[in-house]
Chains A and B, each alone.
Chain A
Amino acid sequence: MTKKILIVEDTPEALENLKELLIMEGFEIITAENGDEAMYKFYLYTPDVIITDLRMPKMDGLALIQKIKESDQLKNIPIIVFSANDTPEYEVKSLKLGADVFIKKPCSIEKLLDTIQSLLSMPSRSS
């Protein structure tokens, strides 16, 4: 069964390229430009993995993670934070809030795909 990935990214270029890459890797891709949109799309599509940027208008990545973790329905979905922010502070904050992995931009395609695969192959967390 095709795995669904939700990409939350406000920079159109970055979003497009990431989406294209993951489609080519055989994933079904849902995109959102900010946290608000992402929350709505979670409920609609229940993705298997979330890849989110941190700095975004309206609802930023940290608020988004918090929201996800507060929801019984969504809290078991693995979250990958994919951010150009290189301050350790944000990495720590994200992980504390419940993100599974923090990947700093730029990163190799292999690393990104390996991370997605390993999160998907994890025994699904019981709700």
Chain B
Amino acid sequence: MLEDNPDDAVFIQRTLQRSGLSIDSKVVYARADFIAALDTFLPDLILSDHQLPQFSSPEALEIVRAREEFIPFILVTGAVSEEFAASIIRAGADDYLLKNNLMRLPTAITQALEKKQMQQSLRQSLHAKQLAERELKDAHERLLFHIENTPLGYIEWDNQFKVKSWSQRASEIFGWTEQEFIETQRGGFSTVYEEDLAITNKAAKQLLAGNVDRNNMVNRNYTKDGRVIWCEWFNSVMKDKDDKVITIMSLVQDITERKTFEDILREYNDRYQILSKATNDAIWDWDIIHDFELWNHGIQSIFGYTEREIASTKKWWKEKIHPNDYERINREIQEAFATNETNWTSQYQYLCADGTYKTVLDRGYIIYHDNKPVRMIGAMQDITEQKKFVEEIEKLSLVASKTNNSVVITDASHNIEWVNEGFVSLTGYTLSEVRGRKPGSFLQGPETDPVTVKRISEKIRNYDSFSEEIINYSKSGRMYWLRLDISPVFDEANILKHYIAIQTDISPQKEFENQITNIARELSNLIEHANVPIFGVDRNGYVNEWNKIATELSEYSRNEVLAKKWVNLLEPSLHRNVNGILKRVFKGHSTRNYELPFVSKSGKRLILLISISPRMDVNKNIYGAICVGQDITELFRYRQGLEKIVKERTRDLNEALQKEKELVEMKSKFVSIASHEFRTPLSTISLVAGLLHKHRDKISTEEYKTKLETIEKQVKHMTYLLDDILTIGKADAGKITTSLSNIDIKSFFTQTSRQIEQNFSTHKIRVQITCTVKEFYTDEKLLRNILSNLLTNAIKFSNFIKAVDLTVSNSDDHLKIEVEDKGIGIAEEDMKNLFTAFHRGGNVGAIQGTGLGLSIVKKAVDLLKGEIDFKSRIGKGTVFIVTLPLHL
């Protein structure tokens, strides 16, 4: 309690105690004490006086409202201006009361505490809404960030494979912009190369059927300019809570370059196999002693010589060796003979019948006799194609070494023969470190999926070409996702010679895919499980999101509202407004805190506070709106109630102020009239005194005496006037204290009447007492005042009939006093001002009076909690009826 007047503080505390509220109060009046009490006393509610020494209620309110928690603030004050009351209510005070009317204090406190509770729960729910909005926004931003920063194209499809979103990168890969897809409502399959339609369809069906959450595939697609490119797709699906697929998200990579390389490799492999099968060696048998040589058909089929052309001498053979090789071959053979070598192998160019040369691999076996070579048998193999192949493999290796993909070539036992630069940079191992080792022995690690490893082994055993994804580890221990394309390489005898593995680090894709899926799931989860209603519409205003709380509040299930126009769920009167808002949102302007009346399915009327924001895709195109709401029905009603209360308070205040104003006016009028009433006798005194002074020689003793009596009379009148004014002043200031006692009815009324009769000695007072009770409990002085004023008036205003009647009777709880005269009566126009101070009837003439008597009577009756009434007819007489409670 902020109160500097200890009496007021005690009075308010007593009022609170009497109200039965259990209240622990602390009274402060200085600013520092007030702030300290907020932290230490922890008030639930603040009652504040308006004006305090060096502090005031607006300042206190500002301090309270700046704090985190809500503390109701009620102004309890003497009198304030209308503007001030309105301004402090506007500034956030919860109520105000005038100190002289604290009856409403307990109710005001209860209401304010209820408001506090309401505020707290509102605050919590507002907080939840803000949190949900922020989380949504964060998640959305993260999603956009990832999408914008991926090296892969990002494409979102609906469950009909219509494009929902198409990133900038996707446009770069395919040439089509998102707009081109959305405008034409083009499906995803339109870009698939015809031969690959079957496999893509199959993969798509898998996703839609919900069998798998994600899959990868490689297929050919068309670009906008008609090129066919190889694309690797990473697809994942998002489902709603009924497990229905809503969105398919795809990451796409143009792998044409890689694919081309793989294809070349395969092609060469195939050719090698075919060639090796088709080749026949030219078998020769040379009798060294006799220089006689025999050839099989090979010499004809390979080199094109006819049987006639073939001479059976070594010379014939030798002549056909390319001059470049001739010396070397001769030397090699001689060396072999000299060292008794049994095997000789060499490569050289050999002349064909058509004049061209073929590359041959010649392998000979030398038979010695007594350390002398006597016979040599061998086979010439046309390795022109093989040589070309090897050259090309070398060239390929060059290409392979240039490619970013890592390439590994192993022998048939899976031992590494060669790796390219890509492998070195990916794994950190150099060729010398890995040559001869099995890739699986050092590249795999704890996270590597054993099932995948097993599958790879099986496929290798079956000599299949295949692709797999697997986790590998680099030399430094970095874990990464690898895509393996493995092809076996066979020799001419169809014997497995090599494996070529093309390895692609797909970690970024994998990681991105995981992130994007997680974020999208998170977003979807956030929307679904936010504890505020969230719903979305597409650009045409059709509902495409409808979360759990939206369902709970509206009682419309997701399925009932999906693909329906949102405005159609609202009352027709709102359509124009809401459509206007949506139009603005689609132009990029969010709307915050729109109060939306909503009728639920069962007819419940709700008020939702909604914020509508545009939904943008990765290219910042607005494709819909998302609405985050809050059910403020309760708050709304409360606010309406509050407005009503404020109106009522303002009205009360205006009335109070009006009364106050009237009171001030009345007081000023009273003073003005009182001064008038004093000036009149003073004027007479002044004039008479002046006359006596000026003309004392001219006036007789008798006259002199009369003049003095006039003065005395005026003084006496003024004394009455003063007494009456003081009485009224006291009554108005509430300073008349009642002192109650038991009064004997009969003796009191008869004695008082007798006394007044004697005072006037002109009239008779006929007293009639018909009471069933003897005594009554009241204030004797006030009662006497009432009675003597009424009887005096009755006597004063009845000139002709010199008798007045006093009748006293009682009911169960009231005493009734009637004073009746047959006097001049009260005119109609004087009746309404009869109890107004200084008002005198128009017909009083020279009858003396202050005009205060009845005003005093009225105040006395009020103090005794009674009522006064009268009946009168002009010229006939008047009766005043006073009823007083028997027990006060």
CB contacts (< 8 Å) of A107 on chain B: these are: 683, 686
How many residues on the A side are at the interface (Cβ–Cβ under 8 A)? Answer: 24
Which residues from 677 to 717 on chain B have a C-beta closer than 8 Å to any C-beta of chain A?
A: 677-688, 690-691, 693-695, 698, 710, 713-714
Cβ–Cβ contact B672 & A87, under 8 A: yes
Cα A13 to Cα B709 with chains together (Å): 12
Q: Is A108 an interface residue (CB 8 A)?
A: yes
- Chain B proximity mask over A77-93: 1 for CB below 8 Å, otherwise 0: 00000101111000000
Q: Is A70 an interface residue (CB 8 A)?
A: no
Q: Is B23 an interface residue (CB 8 A)?
A: no
CB contacts (< 8 Å) of B686 on chain A: these are: 105-109
Report if A14-B683 is in contact (Cβ < 8 Å); known contacts: A24-B698, A84-B676, A87-B672: yes
B48 CB to nearest A CB, Å: 40
Cα A19 to Cα B685 with chains together (Å): 14
A54 CB to nearest B CB, Å: 9
Chain A at the B interface: mostly helix, strand, loop or mixed?
Answer: mixed
Report if A21-B676 is in contact (Cβ < 8 Å); known contacts: A14-B683, A105-B682: no
Q: Is A110 an interface residue (CB 8 A)?
A: yes
Cα A13 to Cα B678 with chains together (Å): 14
Cα A104 to Cα B690 with chains together (Å): 16
Cβ–Cβ contact A13 & B675, under 8 A: no
Cβ–Cβ contact B676 & A106, under 8 A: no
Q: For B676, give its contact among A12, A13, A14, A86 (CB under 8 Å).
A: A86
Report if A106-B698 is in contact (Cβ < 8 Å); known contacts: A12-B846, A21-B690: no
Q: Is B842 an interface residue (CB 8 A)?
A: yes
Cα A18 to Cα B685 with chains together (Å): 11
CB contacts (< 8 Å) of B695 on chain A: these are: 24
A9 CB to nearest B CB, Å: 10
A33 CB to nearest B CB, Å: 9
Cα A105 to Cα B714 with chains together (Å): 14
Cα A49 to Cα B677 with chains together (Å): 26
Instruction: Give the residue name and chain of the A residue nearest to B703 (CB).
Output: A20
Cβ–Cβ contact A106 & B694, under 8 A: no
Chain B at the A interface: mostly helix, strand, loop or mixed?
Answer: helix
A34 CB to nearest B CB, Å: 11
CB contacts (< 8 Å) of A24 on chain B: these are: 691, 695, 698
- Chain A proximity mask over B140-163: 1 for CB below 8 Å, otherwise 0: 000000000000000000000000
Cα A13 to Cα B682 with chains together (Å): 12
Which residues from 40 to 95 on chain A have a C-beta closer than 8 Å to any C-beta of chain B?
A: 55, 57, 82, 84-87
Cα A109 to Cα B684 with chains together (Å): 10
Cβ–Cβ contact A14 & B684, under 8 A: yes
A48 CB to nearest B CB, Å: 20
Instruction: Give the residue name and chain of the B residue nearest to A112 (CB).
Output: B687
Best-buried of B680, B691, B842 by chain A (most CB within 10 Å): B680
Q: Is A11 an interface residue (CB 8 A)?
A: yes
CB contacts (< 8 Å) of A118 on chain B: these are: none
Report if A14-B710 is in contact (Cβ < 8 Å); known contacts: A109-B687, A109-B690: no
B424 CB to nearest A CB, Å: 112
Q: Is A121 an interface residue (CB 8 A)?
A: no
Q: For B680, give its contact among A20, A84, A87, A109 (CB under 8 Å).
A: A84
Cβ–Cβ contact A17 & B676, under 8 A: no
Instruction: Give the residue name and chain of the B residue nearest to A109 (CB).
Output: B690
CB contacts (< 8 Å) of B690 on chain A: these are: 21, 108-110
Instruction: Give the residue name and chain of the B residue nearest to A33 (CB).
Output: B845
Sorting the interface of chain B by its residue count into under 10, 10 to 19, 20 to 34 or 35 or more gives 20 to 34
Cβ–Cβ contact B691 & A106, under 8 A: no
CB contacts (< 8 Å) of B714 on chain A: these are: 13
A91 CB to nearest B CB, Å: 13
Report if A106-B842 is in contact (Cβ < 8 Å); known contacts: A17-B710, A24-B695, A86-B679: no
A100 CB to nearest B CB, Å: 19
CB contacts (< 8 Å) of A13 on chain B: these are: 681, 684, 710, 713-714
Cα A115 to Cα B690 with chains together (Å): 15
A102 CB to nearest B CB, Å: 13
CB contacts (< 8 Å) of B687 on chain A: these are: 17-18, 21, 106, 109, 112
Instruction: Give the residue name and chain of the A residue nearest to B845 (CB).
Output: A12
Cα A106 to Cα B710 with chains together (Å): 15
Cα A82 to Cα B686 with chains together (Å): 13
CB contacts (< 8 Å) of A17 on chain B: these are: 684, 687-688, 691, 710
Q: For A109, give its contact among B672, B675, B694 (CB under 8 Å).
A: B694
Cα A14 to Cα B682 with chains together (Å): 10
Instruction: Give the residue name and chain of the A residue nearest to B843 (CB).
Output: A57
CB contacts (< 8 Å) of B698 on chain A: these are: 24
CB contacts (< 8 Å) of A18 on chain B: these are: 687
B835 CB to nearest A CB, Å: 20
Cβ–Cβ contact A109 & B676, under 8 A: no
CB contacts (< 8 Å) of A12 on chain B: these are: 846
Cα A47 to Cα B679 with chains together (Å): 27
CB contacts (< 8 Å) of A55 on chain B: these are: 676
Cβ–Cβ contact B846 & A106, under 8 A: no
Q: For A105, give its contact among B683, B693, B694 (CB under 8 Å).
A: B683
Cβ–Cβ contact B675 & A86, under 8 A: yes
B293 CB to nearest A CB, Å: 158
Cβ–Cβ contact B679 & A106, under 8 A: yes
Cα A112 to Cα B689 with chains together (Å): 13
Q: For A14, give its contact among B672, B678, B680, B693 (CB under 8 Å).
A: B680
Cα A108 to Cα B683 with chains together (Å): 8
Cα A27 to Cα B714 with chains together (Å): 25
Instruction: Give the residue name and chain of the A residue nearest to B689 (CB).
Output: A109
B477 CB to nearest A CB, Å: 105
CB contacts (< 8 Å) of B685 on chain A: these are: 106
Report if A106-B672 is in contact (Cβ < 8 Å); known contacts: A13-B714, A17-B710: no
Cα A8 to Cα B73 with chains together (Å): 62
A103 CB to nearest B CB, Å: 10
Cβ–Cβ contact B846 & A105, under 8 A: no
CB contacts (< 8 Å) of A106 on chain B: these are: 679, 682-687
B592 CB to nearest A CB, Å: 59
CB contacts (< 8 Å) of A84 on chain B: these are: 675-680, 683
Cα A86 to Cα B679 with chains together (Å): 9
Cα A41 to Cα B291 with chains together (Å): 189
- Chain A proximity mask over B664-679: 1 for CB below 8 Å, otherwise 0: 0000000010011111
CB contacts (< 8 Å) of B676 on chain A: these are: 55, 84-86
Cα A108 to Cα B687 with chains together (Å): 6
B260 CB to nearest A CB, Å: 111
Best-buried of A85, A86, A105 by chain B (most CB within 10 Å): A105
A71 CB to nearest B CB, Å: 26
Cα A11 to Cα B683 with chains together (Å): 11
Cα A107 to Cα B684 with chains together (Å): 9
B799 CB to nearest A CB, Å: 15
- Chain A proximity mask over B549-590: 1 for CB below 8 Å, otherwise 0: 000000000000000000000000000000000000000000
Cα A55 to Cα B690 with chains together (Å): 24
Cβ–Cβ contact B683 & A20, under 8 A: no
CB contacts (< 8 Å) of A85 on chain B: these are: 672, 676, 679
CB contacts (< 8 Å) of A105 on chain B: these are: 679-680, 682-683, 686
Cβ–Cβ contact A86 & B672, under 8 A: yes
A21 CB to nearest B CB, Å: 5
CB contacts (< 8 Å) of B679 on chain A: these are: 84-86, 104-106
CB contacts (< 8 Å) of B677 on chain A: these are: 84
Best-buried of A14, A24, A84, A104 by chain B (most CB within 10 Å): A84
Instruction: Give the residue name and chain of the A residue nearest to B682 (CB).
Output: A106
CB contacts (< 8 Å) of B681 on chain A: these are: 13
CB contacts (< 8 Å) of B684 on chain A: these are: 13-14, 17, 106
16 new A-B contacts at CB < 8 Å, known A82-B683, A107-B683: A12-B846, A13-B714, A18-B687, A21-B687, A21-B688, A21-B690, A84-B678, A85-B676, A86-B672, A86-B675, A87-B672, A106-B682, A106-B684, A108-B690, A109-B687, A109-B693
Residue contacts A-B, CB under 8 angstroms, 11 given:
A14-B684, A17-B710, A84-B675, A84-B676, A105-B680, A105-B686, A106-B683, A106-B684, A106-B685, A109-B690, A109-B691
10 tightest Cβ-Cβ pairs between the two chains A and B: A109-B690, A84-B679, A105-B683, A106-B686, A106-B683, A106-B682, A12-B846, A105-B679, A84-B676, A84-B680
